[in-house]
Structure 1
Amino acid sequence: MGTPIPERIARHCADAVDDHADRLVELAGSLHAEPELAFAEHRSAEKISGLLEREGFAVERGTAGLDTAFVARAGSGPLTVAFCAEYDALPGIGHACGHNLIAASSVGAGLALRDVADELGLTVLVVGTPAEEEGGGKIVMLDAGVFDDVALAMMAHPAPIDVAAPRPLALAEWEIRYRGTPSHSAMAPHLGVNAADALTVAEVAIGVGRQHLEPEQLVHGIVTHGGDAPNVVPADTRAVYDMRAPDVGSLERLQARVRRCIEAGAVATGCSFEITAAPDYAELRHDPWLSATYRDAILELGRTLLPPEQERVLPAGSTDMGNVSLVVPSIHPAIGVESGGAVNHQPEFTAACVGPSADRAVGDAAVAMARTTAAAAVSDEQRERFLTRTR
Structure 2
Amino acid sequence: MTSDPAQHRDATARRKRAAQECLDRRWDTIREISTGLHADPETAWHEVRAHRRLTALLASEGFTVDPRAGGLDTAFRATAGSGPVHVAFVAEYDALPGLGHACGHNLIAAASVGAALMVRAAEDAVPGAGLTVHVIGTPAEEGGGGKILMLEAGQFADIDAAMMMHPGPADAARAEPFAVAHWEVTYRGVGAHAAAYPHLGVNAADGFTVAQVAIGLLRQHLPPTVRVHGVVTEAGTAPNAVPDLATGRWYVRAASLSELDDVERRIRACFTAGATATGCELRIRDESPRYSEFRTDEQLLGWFVDNAAALGRDMTSPPPDGAAAMRTASTDMGNVSQHVRAIHPYLGIGSLPAVNHQRAFADAAVGPLAERALRDGATALAWTAIDFAAHAAATSRCTHSDRAR
TM tier relative to shorter chain:
over 0.9
Aligned twin of 1:369: 381
- Give the Cα–Cα distance (whole angstroms) in 2 for the partners of residues 340 and 27 of structure 1: 24
RMSD after superposition? 1.9
1:215-226 to 2 correspondences below 5 Å: 215-226=224-235
Matched, 1:122 2:128: no
Query: Given the alignment of the two structures, is residue 99 of structure 1 paired with residue 105 of structure 2, yes or no?
Result: yes
Q: Residues 187-226 of structure 1: matches in 2 within 5 Å? A: 187-226=196-235
Letter of the structure 2 residue corresponding to residue 235 of structure 1 = D
- Where does residue 266 of structure 1 map in the other structure? 275
The offset of 1:330, in angstroms, is: 0.1
2:243 corresponds to: 234
2:148 equivalent to 1:167? no
Partner of 1:173: helix, strand, or coil?
strand
May I ask how many residue pairs the two structures share in their alignment?
388
- Name the structure 2 match of 1:285: 295
- 1:77 correspondence with 2:86: no
In structure 2, runs of 5+ residues without a counterpart are: 1-7
The amino acid that maps onto 2:196 is M
Give me the whole-angstrom Cα distance separating, in 2, the residues matched to 1:309 and 1:339.
Answer: 13
Contact 2:170 2:320 in 1 (8 A): no
Question: How has the CA–CA distance of structure 1 residues 48 and 382 changed in structure 2, closer, same or farther, with 3 Å as cutoff?
Answer: farther
Cα drift, residue 389 of structure 1:
5.2
Q: Shift of the alpha carbon at 1:134? A: 2.2
Amino acid at match of 2:324: L
Q: How far apart are the structure 2 equivalents of 1:389 and 1:342?
A: 43
**1:215 match: secondary structure:** coil
Q: Counterpart amino acid of 1:44? A: A
C-alpha separation in 1, matches of 2:245 and 2:184: 13
CA contact (8 A) 1:151 1:389 kept: no
Q: Structure 1 residue 310: deviation in Å? A: 8.8
Find the counterpart in structure 2 of residue 182 from structure 1: 191
Q: CA deviation at 1:309?
A: 9.7
Partner-residue secondary structure (3-state), 2:182: strand
The separation in 2 between residues aligned to 1:167 and 1:382, in whole angstroms, is: 30
1:103 partner letter:
A
Deviations 1:281-326 (A, max 9, x none): 1111110111111011101100132436999x93221111001001
1:26 maps to 32
**Per-residue deviation, residues 132-177 of structure 1 (Å, max 9, x unmatched):** 1121111110111100011110000000111111211111111110
The equivalent residue for 2:398 is 385
Cα deviations by residue, 1:229-255 (Å, 9 ceiling, x for unpaired): 211111110111111111111111111
* CA distances 1:190-222 after superposition (whole Å, capped 9, x unpaired): 111121111110010011110011121000111
Contact 1:337–1:358 (Cα < 8 Å) also in 2: yes
- TM-aligned CA deviation for residue 383 of structure 1: 5.6
CA distance in 1, matches of 2:142, 2:272: 27
User: Residues 42, 385 of structure 1: CA spacing in aligned structure 2 closer, same or farther, 3 A cutoff?
Assistant: same
The partner residue of 2:74 within 65, 68, 72 is 68
